[in-house]
Homo-oligomer: A and B are copies of this chain.
Amino acid sequence: MKRMTFLLLVVAGLAGVVAFTASASRHQYQEATPSFVTEIPPGYRDWKLVSVAHEEGQLNDIRAILGNDVAIKTYRAGKLPFPEGTIIARIAWNYVPSEENNKIFGREQSFVPGEQPPWYLQFMVKDSKKYAATGGWGYAQFDKDGKPGPESDMKKCFPCHQAIKERDFVFTRYSP
């Protein structure tokens, strides 16, 4: 009877190991083919400037594009592709007239950042293995509360960036 109990425990234990292994490999599989980045890269607001832009229409935002050190180094060297570990950050703010500036300048000419839109933060993270399915780049979007963008929006990233594959899928050019 003792032997029977021992055998049962061994079987139960093995089943547990098998279950754990299956779970782990499923997890590894998920990590091997993700489409999106799920965490805000720390320290991005301290990164160096790549460029700026204004998008009209439904977006109607004004934006800054920053890069981590490897991104900036690659931009300045002008050599593609971007290496592993490159992260490019895009911060967008609502595009609003500055009444304060206009009053001082004496004319309507000044537009500045307002509140953060739902597409406040976007990131591209270079990891050729992890994001092999989307050109080696993981994509991310977060609102001002750190909530990731809806999957329906995120699915639009890569198809659009694919149009500039020859520039390693990166829209923004470096502004000196």
Contacts and interface: CB of A to CB of B under 8 A. Distances in A.
A111 interface: yes
A173 B56 contact: no
A163 B53 contact: no
A160 B101 CA distance: 10
List the number of copies, as a whole number: 2
Contact of A104 (B57, B104, B163): B163
B56 A109 contact: yes
Interface string A97-113: 01011001101111111
Interface in A80-107: 91, 93, 95, 98, 100-101, 104-105, 107
B64 A53 contact: no
Contact of A93 (B55, B107, B108, B175): B175
Interface size class of A (residues with CB under 8 A): 35 or more
A51 interface: yes
Interface in A19-52: 45-49, 51-52
13 contacts: A45-B48, A47-B48, A49-B64, A52-B62, A53-B98, A54-B110, A57-B107, A57-B109, A64-B175, A104-B164, A105-B160, A113-B175, A116-B176
Interface of A: 45-49, 51-57, 59, 62-64, 66, 91, 93, 95, 98, 100-101, 104-105, 107-113, 116, 160, 163-164, 171, 173, 175-176
